Each structure stands twice: as structure tokens, then as C-alpha cells.
């Protein structure tokens, strides 16, 4: 009997631990073929010159894929890396390596599901099945106490019912061995330049450096739980909550699973860290909520109100938007947040809420411009979390209540040091702060 090979299509699950598609493929096949595609779609430039993926996130992604390759090599395996359309590349590889099935984790947002549909159609032409797994959420879809169509739109109700009636599954086992076919052309990691991007400049004011990859994610997870609250506090961080885990970039591309974070929380829920641990659990539930809302409502969840805009409105919008984006509104806290975002790719949740609310409610700019801007800039961009939060703040989705009370969006007294740090937009080559 001929050997069975399953192609494992890594997307936003760039890890070996708690990775069901990898484990299942190892169990069901004699050999697995791990593949990652850099899809040019995610790196195209819009007519305004913005990139769909900014350079901080792109660098993080390159590091994450390189780390996955290194970790697979540690098993004597290999990761095939290609740059191109997965709907063309995956069928080619499937033929070349005589693959019998392709596994991937199902996504929820429109663009991501569209891409997997194209892959599915292309594979069907070869009579190959694309098998979908559910693995991006803390609670498995099948363990929810309601079908997707009946998920409560209110977060409070969702939370209450899920916590009462559902359980988080244990993590799946870490593979003991990974056997791959003989791979002669594993492919090179593209450079940022090949993806059409410049190397990002690391701003010395940044309080976090996010290194892509599962290895760094596990270090961050264990540091978060092992350090005292004081040590967890990002040094010099004045913009909002200090006890956040800073795990979002890794969670977004799946270098770590929310389940793995949850079970780590569980281990610490009895110690002095209990309050932080329960906050972290709550935030992971918000993450699930936005993903399930996308699954339930599709694009409708973020559908903007049908506002008629005339040309004059659009011109004002553009002017106000550009001031906001460059941190030039004249409101010190908003400008400081935007300077930090532009210089690092990251701002905390408190800052995100304030700048989003300011754009939408004070400047009255179309919220989708802000969401697109965040999509480019954020190092932790994730479609459901970004578009869901923006729509929430703009009040355009089907959810019944806002997470964000306006009062909570006001800068706090402790934010003044933060404003001082980030009052300038950039640093010139001599290291001087410029662009007040
Ligand atoms: P923690 O407080 O430690 O929370 C743990 C994890 O829970 C986070 O890593 C994240 O995965 C999840 N989480 C926390 N808060 C939220 C939330 N409100 N919604 C969804 N998930 C949450 N988060 C993203 O991961 N990607 C985005 O693209 C994104 N865009 C946002 C846009 C706006 C306008 C706003 C207001 C929030 C957005 N968030 C987004 C949510 C939140 O700001 C970040 O997840 C959080 O700041 C990450 O820091 P942390 O890892 O320390 O979070």
C-alpha cells in the first residue's frame, strides 16, 4: 500500500504546541508536509500608498515563520516556504508530493475565508479535500451552549452562559515525532524588501519589543506569570493598564493558543496573581466573542450605517483623518498615542479606545478609515478583534451594548508622563526627537 501524506497548511497557527491540525495529520498519515505561503495579497499597497501589512507586523511574521521552521527542523522535519497565491501553490505542492489531503484551521473573517474557498476549489479539481479544523478560540465552537446562529449578541449574556455551561478543552499533545517526505526545495524566507516593505526603525522610546515566533511567545507567557506585578509592568508605560500580558501579537498569528494561555492562568489562579489571571481570562473571552460574532453575522457585524456623504464631507473627513493618523490633532493624549502607534506598531487597549473614540465621536470621521489604518499599523492586527472593536466603538454592529463606557475612555492623571514621552512623532538620525 502506498504511503499517505497530509499537507499541513500553516496560516495563523504558527506553532507546534497545542496544534490540532499538525497532531491529527501526524496521527492519520505516514508523512506530513508542513507549508507556509506568504500571500502577496496581504502585502499589496492601496491607492493611498498604505500597505495592507505594515513593516512592524511583517517583520514579526517573518520571525514567526523562521522560528516555526527552526522548531520543525529540531524534529528533523522541514517547513516549505513559498511566496505566492496559496490557491496556486498548494495544489502544485499537493501534486508534487502526492498528498492525499490538506489540513488547515478555519478562519472567520471575509478575506481569510475567501482565500480558503479558493484553495478548496483548486484542490477539488485534483479531487483533494481541504479539511477544516476549528482551533483559534478559547472555547471550541462545538462546546458552546448554543448554535452559532443563537449566540447572544450581548457580551454579558454570552459570557454568563459560556462560563456556566461550557468548558475549555485541554491542549492537544505536543508531537513526539514529525516525519516529512524528502524535501528538495524548501524555499527561502522572503525579505521585507521582497515583500515591498522597508526595515522598520526601532524607536528607543518603545517599552516592548515583540520578537515573532512560538519560542518568544512561550518566554513571554512564562515571564508574565513568573514575574511579580511590578516586573510585569512595562517600564515607563504610562498609557493605561499595566498588568496586561502583551501576548496579542503572538495570539494573532497563533504562535501560542488561547487555550495554552488559559491553562497557564488556571495554574496561577490560586496565588497572588489571581486578579490579573481572571482579567486575562475575561479578555480572552472578549477575543472569542468577536470571533463568534463574525461567524454569526459575517460582514453584517461590521456594516456601517448607510450614511450619505457628499464631496465636502469626504474632504473634511480626509483632512481630519490625516491629522489624527499623524498625531497632529492638538489633543496631547491622542497625539501621543498615535505617535507611539506609528513608531512601534503597538498601543495598549486604553489608548486604542481613546484614539478610536476621538476619531469617530469627536472628529466625526468614518470609522472604517480608522480600522483600515489600524489594520496596516498594528503588530497584533487580527480581523475580528480589530474590526469588531472599531465597529463596537462606532456603534454600528449588532451587539447590544458597548464594552466601553465613555468615562473609561478619558485619559487618566497617570498619563501625563506618557504624553511627555510620546509628544514627538519621530526620532531623526542623530537621535533627536522631532515633529512635535
Ligand atoms: P491582555 O489585556 O493581556 O488580554 C489578553 C488577550 O486577550 C490579548 O492578547 C488579546 O488577544 C485578547 N483581548 C484583549 N482585549 C481584547 C478586546 N477588546 N478585543 C479582542 N480581544 C482582546 N486586539 C488584537 O489582538 N488585534 C487587533 O487588531 C485589535 N484591534 C483593536 C482595535 C481597537 C479600536 C480596540 C479598542 C482594541 C483592539 N484590540 C485588538 C483589543 C486590545 O486592544 C488588544 O488585544 C490588547 O491591547 C492587547 O494587549 P495584551 O495582549 O496585553 O492584552
User: Best mutation site among 112, 349, 409 for ligand 1, i.e. most ligand atoms within 8 A of its Cβ?
Assistant: 349
Pick the atom of ligand 1 nearest to 284's CA: 7
Question: Strand 80-83 and strand 426-427: pairing?
Answer: unpaired
Residue nearest to atom 21 of ligand 1 (CA): 287
The predicted pLDDT at position 22 comes to 98
Among 171, 119, 111, 169, smallest CA distance to 144 is for 169
Rounded CA gap, 197 and 324, in Å?
23
Nearest CA to ligand 1 atom 10: 248
Residues of the chain predicted below pLDDT 50 = 228-241, 305-306, 400, 402-403, 405-407, 436
Distance 225 CA to ligand 1 centre (A): 18
Q: How far apart are CA 347 and CA 205, in angstroms?
A: 13
Q: Are 92 and 194 spatial neighbours (Cβ–Cβ below 8 Å)? A: no
CA angle 273, 279, 282 (to 5 degrees): 140
**Atom of ligand 1 at shortest range from CA of 279:** 2
**Which of 385, 390, 396 has most ligand 1 atoms within 8 Å of CB, for mutation?**
385
Q: What does the alpha-carbon distance between residue 390 and residue 355 come to, in Å, rounded to a whole number?
A: 11
Work out which ligand 1 atom sits closest to the CA atom of 390.
34
The residue contributing the CA closest to ligand 1 atom 47 is 349
- The answer to whether 426 touches 328, Cβ cutoff 8 Å, is no
pLDDT of residue 397: 65
71 vs 16: CA distance, rounded Å: 8
Residue 381 CA: nearest ligand 1 atom is: 28
Residue 139 CB neighbour total at 10 angstroms: 23
Question: What was the pLDDT predicted at 234?
Answer: 42
Distance of CA 240 to the CA centre of its chain: 21
Measuring from atom 49 of ligand 1, which residue has the nearest CA? 246
As for ligand 1, residues whose beta carbon falls within 6 Å of it are 244-248, 251-252, 280, 283-284, 286-287, 290, 348-349, 352-353, 356, 374, 378, 380-382, 385-386, 389-390, 393
Residue of the CA atom closest to atom 15 of ligand 1: 283
Cβ–Cβ < 8 Å for 97, 181: yes
Residue 401 carries which DSSP code?
S
Contact between 132 and 295 (Cβ < 8 Å): no
What pTM, to 2 d.p., does this model score? 0.93
Q: Which of 61, 380, 384, 394 to mutate to test the pocket of ligand 1 (most atoms within 8 A of CB)?
A: 380
**Angle, CA 308 vertex, CA 304 and CA 313 arms, to 5°:** 105
Task: Give the residue, by CA position, lying nearest to ligand 1 atom 43.
Answer: 349
* Cα-based angle 60, 213, 34 (whole degrees, multiple of 5): 110
Please report the pLDDT score of residue 414 as a whole number.
62
Q: What is the pLDDT of residue 2?
A: 81
Helix (H, G, I), strand (E, B) or coil at 101: strand
Nearest CA among 362, 349, 282, 287 for reference residue 321: 362
Q: What is the residue whose three cell numbers read 515633529?
A: 435
Nearest alpha-carbon partner for 281 in 253, 267, 251, 261: 261
In this predicted structure, what is the pLDDT of residue 1?
60
Nearest CA to ligand 1 atom 23: 385
Could you tell me the distance, in angstroms and rounded to a whole number, from the CA of residue 56 to the centre of ligand 1?
Answer: 17
At 412 the pLDDT is 64
- Residue 404 Cα to ligand 1 midpoint, Å, equals 13
pLDDT, tens only, 236-271: 444 444 579 999 999 999 999 999 999 998 888 776
Distance 244 CA to ligand 1 centre (A): 10
Cell matching residue 347: 498601543
Q: Treating both helix axes as pointing N-terminal to C-terminal, what angle do 258-268 and 214-226 enclose, rounded to 10 degrees?
A: 20
pLDDT at site 237: 42
| Alpha-carbon span 271 to 281, nearest angstrom | 15
Write the residue with the smallest CA distance to atom 48 of ligand 1. 248
* Residue 41 CA from chain centroid, whole number: 17
SS3 18: coil
Share of the chain above pLDDT 70, in %: 86
Amino acid at each position: 500500500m502506498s504511503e499517505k501524506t497530509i499537507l499541513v497548511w500553516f496560516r495563523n497557527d504558527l506553532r507546534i504546541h497545542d496544534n490540532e491540525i499538525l497532531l491529527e495529520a501526524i496521527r492519520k498519515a505516514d508523512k506530513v508536509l508542513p507549508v507556509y505561503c506568504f500571500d502577496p495579497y496581504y502585502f499589496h499597497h492601496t491607492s493611498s500608498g498604505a500597505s495592507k501589512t505594515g513593516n512592524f507586523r511583517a517583520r514579526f511574521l517573518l520571525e514567526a515563520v523562521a522560528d516555526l521552521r527552526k522548531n520543525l527542523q529540531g524534529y528533523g522535519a522541514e517547513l516549505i516556504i513559498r511566496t505566492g497565491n496559496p490557491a496556486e501553490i498548494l495544489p502544485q505542492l499537493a501534486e508534487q508530493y502526492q498528498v492525499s489531503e490538506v489540513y488547515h484551521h478555519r478562519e472567520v473573517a471575509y478575506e481569510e475565508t475567501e482565500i480558503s474557498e479558493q484553495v478548496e476549489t483548486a484542490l477539488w479539481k485534483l479531487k483533494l479535500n481541504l479539511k477544516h479544523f476549528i482551533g483559534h478560540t478559547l472555547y471550541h465552537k462545538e462546546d458552546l451552549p448554543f448554535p452559532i446562529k443563537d449566540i447572544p449578541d450581548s457580551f454579558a449574556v454570552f459570557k454568563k452562559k459560556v462560563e456556566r455551561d461550557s468548558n475549555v478543552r485541554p491542549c492537544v499533545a505536543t508531537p513526539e515525532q514529525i516525519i516529512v517526505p524528502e524535501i528538495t526545495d524548501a524555499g527561502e524566507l522572503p525579505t521585507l524588501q521582497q515583500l515591498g516593505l522597508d526595515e522598520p526603525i526601532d524607536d528607543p522610546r518603545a517599552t516592548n519589543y515583540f520578537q515573532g515566533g512560538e519560542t518568544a511567545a512561550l518566554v513571554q507567557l512564562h515571564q508574565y506569570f513568573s514575574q511579580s506585578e511590578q516586573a510585569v509592568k512595562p517600564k515607563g508605560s504610562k498609557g493605561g493598564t499595566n498588568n496586561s500580558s502583551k501576548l496579542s501579537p503572538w495570539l494573532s498569528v497563533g504562535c501560542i493558543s488561547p487555550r495554552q494561555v488559559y491553562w497557564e492562568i488556571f495554574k496561577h489562579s490560586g496565588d497572588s496573581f489571581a486578579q490579573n489571571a481572571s482579567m486575562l481570562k475575561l479578555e480572552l473571552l472578549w477575543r472569542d466573542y468577536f470571533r463568534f460574532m463574525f461567524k454569526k453575522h459575517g460582514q453584517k457585524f461590521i456594516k456601517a450605517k448607510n450614511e450619505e456623504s457628499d464631496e465636502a464631507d469626504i474632504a473634511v473627513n480626509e483632512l481630519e483623518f490625516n491629522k489624527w493618523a499623524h498625531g497632529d490633532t492638538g489633543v496631547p493624549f491622542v497625539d501621543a498615542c498615535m505617535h507611539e502607534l506609528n513608531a512601534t506598531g503597538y498601543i495598549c487597549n486604553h489608548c486604542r479606545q481613546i484614539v478610536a473614540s476621538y476619531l469617530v465621536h469627536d472628529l466625526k470621521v468614518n470609522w472604517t478609515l480608522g480600522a483600515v489604518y489600524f489594520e496596516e499599523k498594528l503588530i497584533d492586527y487580527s480581523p475580528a478583534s480589530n474590526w469588531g472593536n472599531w465597529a463596537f466603538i462606532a456603534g454600528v454592529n449588532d451587539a447590544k451594548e458597548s464594552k466601553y463606557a465613555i468615562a473609561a475612555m478619558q485619559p487618566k492623571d497617570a498619563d501625563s508622563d506618557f504624553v511627555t514621552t510620546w509628544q514627538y512623532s519621530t526620532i531623526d538620525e542623530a537621535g533627536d526627537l522631532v515633529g512635535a
